[in-house]
């Protein structure tokens, strides 16, 4: 029996996730949205591409959570978009209400699913989803680190004029200005990046990575990134559905790891069929650990505001 993925929110991120899932034939897809006609229209359009693209998966658009029942995995993209000059934190209270209502329905109709949160501010929304759903912590995660790392790797590859596939590294911390790229663990074809780029250029790339989302928002003028975020979500889904045991940076609920308690923060995790199967605790310098804990404090301020 084919797997079923529900995407809550049929905007640019949600619809592009659906498109990528269809192209890779990873699962049947339900596009769920409160706007009448939008998920139905996008779902039908994607379905009609099947004979050309060669996929046979079912794609359904709906305004009813009943159609999402028994999903194996749910992607939460619903929420208000970020506009130029707007910080992720500005979205906090409005998007909390959206996520809270949606997760209550998801938990009702798909109580065994794995939940990937994309709605911003991401780490706080993942925490809200965890608390509202009552799911075990391995089944709730936030998509942030995969996206932030992709941006980091892109900028490094550009600077060095090498394949992005040669660049390996990851970004820790909350999704936003306090994220923590770790150059010490960044390599290019196995060579430490610190041996290939001067410190000032590396620091400029780290700053650009932290502001990667805002850079695209300011260029688009209306809307925000969706190609790279959707690719990041699908990489996570692929790792889960194929039980790859793949180590990826994700927002995960920490209970003492890195000295952080009771918060969703971006760290390397092992993704497999049960969701987050292990939190990888790497050795950090005192400076790196302090930066990660500062990032966690920024997340803590948000979750205190919404009371989760």
Quick: pLDDT tens for 31-51: 999 999 999 999 999 999 999
Tell me if 146 sits within 8 A of 168, measured CB to CB.
no
Question: Which CATH topology does 4-142 take?
Answer: Rossmann fold (3.40.50)
Q: What is the CATH number of domain 145-306?
A: 3.90.110.10
Give 300-308 contacts, CB < 8 A, sequence gap 24+.
Answer: 300/263, 302/89, 302/92, 302/121, 302/123, 302/124, 303/124, 303/127, 303/128, 303/263, 305/92, 305/93, 306/92, 306/93, 306/96, 306/124, 306/128, 308/96, 308/124, 308/127, 308/128, 308/130, 308/131, 308/132
The CA distance from 209 to 273, in Å, is 30
Looking at residues 21-31, what average pLDDT do you find? Answer: 98
Catalytic residues: 175
pLDDT score of 178: 87
4-142 and 145-306: identical CATH topology: no
What does pLDDT average to over the chain? 95
Quick: pLDDT tens for 58-104: 999 999 999 999 999 999 999 987 666 766 667 788 899 999 999 99
The structural domains of the chain, with segments of one domain joined by +, span: 4-142, 145-306
Reported as a pLDDT band with limits 50, 70 and 90, residue 108 is: very high
Quick: pLDDT tens for 141-193: 999 999 999 999 999 999 999 999 999 999 999 988 889 989 999 999 999 99
Question: pTM here?
Answer: 0.95
């Amino acid at each position: 029996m084919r797997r079923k993925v529900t995407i809550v929110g049929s905007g640019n991120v949600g619809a592009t996730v659906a498109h990528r899932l269809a192209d890779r034939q990873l699962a049947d897809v339900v596009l769920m949205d409160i706007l009448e006609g939008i998920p139905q229209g996008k779902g039908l359009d994607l379905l009609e591409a099947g004979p050309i693209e060669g996929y046979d998966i079912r794609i359904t658009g709906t305004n009813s959570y009943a159609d999402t029942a028994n999903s194996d995995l749910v992607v939460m993209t619903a929420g208000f978009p970020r506009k130029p000059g707007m910080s992720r934190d500005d979205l906090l209270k409005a998007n909390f209400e959206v996520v809270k209502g949606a997760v209550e329905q998801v938990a009702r109709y798909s109580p065994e699913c794995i939940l990937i949160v994309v709605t911003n501010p991401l780490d706080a929304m993942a925490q809200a989803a965890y608390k509202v759903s009552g799911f075990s912590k391995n089944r709730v995660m936030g998509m942030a680190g995969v996206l932030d790392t992709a941006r980091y790797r892109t900028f490094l590859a550009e600077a060095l004029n090498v394949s992005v596939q040669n660049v390996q590294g990851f970004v820790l911390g909350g999704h936003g200005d306090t994220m923590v790229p770790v150059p010490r663990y960044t390599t290019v074809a196995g060579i430490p990046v610190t041996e290939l780029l001067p410190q000032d250029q590396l620091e400029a790339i780290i700053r650009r990575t932290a502001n990667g989302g805002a850079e695209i928002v300011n260029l688009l003028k209306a809307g925000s990134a969706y190609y790279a975020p959707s690719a990041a979500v699908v990489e996570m889904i692929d790792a889960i559905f194929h039980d790859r045991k793949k180590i990826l940076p994700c927002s995960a609920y920490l209970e003492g790891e890195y000295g952080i308690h009771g918060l969703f923060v971006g760290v390397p995790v092992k993704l497999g069929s049960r969701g987050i199967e292990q939190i990888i605790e790497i050795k950090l310098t005192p400076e790196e650990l302090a930066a990660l804990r500062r990032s966690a404090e920024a997340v803590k301020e948000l979750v205190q505001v919404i009371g989760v």
